[in-house]
Every structure is written in structure tokens, then in C-alpha cells.
Amino acid sequence: MKFRTDPSQIKGSIAPLMSPFTADGAVDHAGLTNLVNWQLASGTHGISLGGSTGEPSSQTIAERAAAIRTVATAIDDRVPFMPGTGSAKLDETLELTAAARDAGIDAALVITPYYARPTQQALYVWYKTVAEEFPDLPIVAYNVPSRTAVDIAPETIARLYRDFDNFVGVKETTKDFEHFSRVLQLCGPDLLVWSGIELLCLPLLALGGVGYISATSNIAPVAHVEMYNAWMAGDIETARRIHYGLHPLVDLLFVETNPAPGKWVLEQRGLIESGFVRPPLITPTDAGIATMKTLLSAGEQYLSPVDGFTVAGFTPKAA
């Protein structure tokens, strides 16, 4: 809540946490707290939860609200907290956003309603309803057309930004880089834009984006922090070196459906007790793990240290 009145402070590397589950599928709140503490020790600039990487559609609203409260408590206003509070249903979106507001979040990341394929006018009405319901809470649109089957147009973002003071930005998870540019061109430099596409994190900074919400920061938070800090310091060569160095880890995360590969890495490194993913996802196949091990080796130097954050009884896995 500390950053709610100035959402421009939600910048840099915002880690979109994976949601750890126990081996029998329950939400692992102790594991979630451990991930938060590891991220903050790694220098992460902010935390998100409940985006695509957090498996929100496999959780109930009550589970998601409880997880948001756990993370808010763990963060304790040390960095900004911008969780996903959206759903395909408006009543669920309003219910979860209210619970998140009461938990002390700094901004709400609201996904476009998926499956229904609403028109641009319908999307405008959707975000208008959320913005008007929570006038004192910064609202950020989450555009991820590969998962929702709807793409919020730059003109719709600009209309919302113009009409509602608390509509402050967008997480753009589209590989259409022109989309990023047109959003910023229409809205101006004060709109907050984060990249949700791993290999467009660094390029977006050149257009005026404020940071990124990259799944790869779940396994390499220090590198993501250093890439942003290098860019901001004008050290373009270092930022570019890290960007290219992270490629194998980016590829690793998408060998099979995200977040299953990333959770496998977190379990292998002892940061969570189980890499369980809820249906319809499955844990990585043997063939997938073989590919992931090769990529993990290639990007190993960019993995962040885990000393002091491994779960009790952890024994490193054999290669």
C-alpha cells in the first residue's frame, strides 16, 4: 500500500511469482513466503502474483485472495506489490480486486476477460467498471492475447488512460512490438508499460517502458535486476550481454507449458518442496526434462544464488 499513491514507483524487474503447491496440490503458503524472501534478497524491484505464470485459472477466488494476503504480509511494503486480480467473470474480478485492495496491494493487474472474445467497446466497459469501482486503486490492464483470444487495442488503452485517472498502465504480453510503440505513442510517456514477453524486456526500455514482468525472473532474479540497473545507468553493453545470456533460460521455461518447467527448476534448486502443477497442466515429461537440463547448463551462470533459502531437508538432485 505504501506505493499506491505513486504507481510510477512500480518499475524495474517485477517478478511474477509462480504459485507453489504441495505434492498433493494444496497452495503452499510457506513456499510462497520463501519465494518472496528470496526475490527480495536478490534485489527484485517489485512482486506480482496471479498472472499466467501463477496458474490463477486453476485456483478458486478464495485461494487467490489468501495467497495475495500471504505475499502482502511477506513483502511488508518493502517493494511494490501488483498482483493479478482478474478473471473471466466480472463479479469474481471485483471480489478479488476488493480483497487485494484490503490486503494492501499497490496496484491491481487486471487481465482482459478470456474466452468470450469481447469487442473493444466491451473491453472499455469492463475496465471502466473496475476503475470506477476502485477509484483510489491504480488499475493496470494485462494484455496477453495468446492466452485470452482477445487483444486490447492501443486506441482502447488510450481511451481508458484519458478517461480514468486511476487507469495507469498496461502489461503488454504480445510479440507484436509495434503494439508497444503505438500504445506509448498514443498515450505519451507517463503511461506505465511493462513487458511480459521475456525477449522484449530490454527492447521495451528503449521505447520508454518502465520495466518488465518476466517469468524468467522466477529463476534468475539477480540477472533481471542487473539488466534493468545497467540500462538505467547507461551501461548498454552490460544490459545487452545479460539480455542475450538469458536466452537459454527463457527457452527452458517454454520447453513445455509455463510454469511447469520453471517449477521443476525451483524444485531442483530447493526453493520449493514440490514442482506440482494443477490440471490441466502436467509436470515435465522425460523428453522435456532432458532438453531443460541442456538449457539449464547453457544458462547456468545467470541463475541466482539460493543459499539460505532452500527448504528443510533439501538434497541437491543428481544431474
Q: What value, to the nearest 5°, has the Cα angle with vertex 102 and ends 152 and 77?
A: 90
- Taking the C-alpha atoms of residue 81 and residue 312, their distance in angstroms, rounded to an integer, is 27
53 assigned binding-site residue: yes
SS3 call for 89: coil
14 is in an annotated binding site: no
Catalytic residue among 171, 212, 263, 302: 171
**Catalytic option among 124, 142, 161, 302:** 142
* 142 included as an active-site residue: yes
| Helix, strand or coil, per DSSP, at residue 217 | helix
Query: In sequence order, what DSSP letters do the residues of 57-84 get, joined into one string?
Result: GGS-HHHHHHHHHHHHHHHTTSS-B--B
Q: Are 50 and 67 a contacting pair, CB within 8 Å? A: yes
Distance CA 43, CA 29 (A): 21
Query: What size, in residues, is the chain?
Result: 319
CB 42 within 8 A of CB 5: no
- Based on the number of CB atoms within 10 Å of its own CB, is 61 exposed (0-12), middle (13-18) or buried (19 or more)? middle
Annotated binding-site positions for pyruvate: 53, 213
Residues involved in catalysis: 142, 171
Annotated binding-site positions: 53, 213
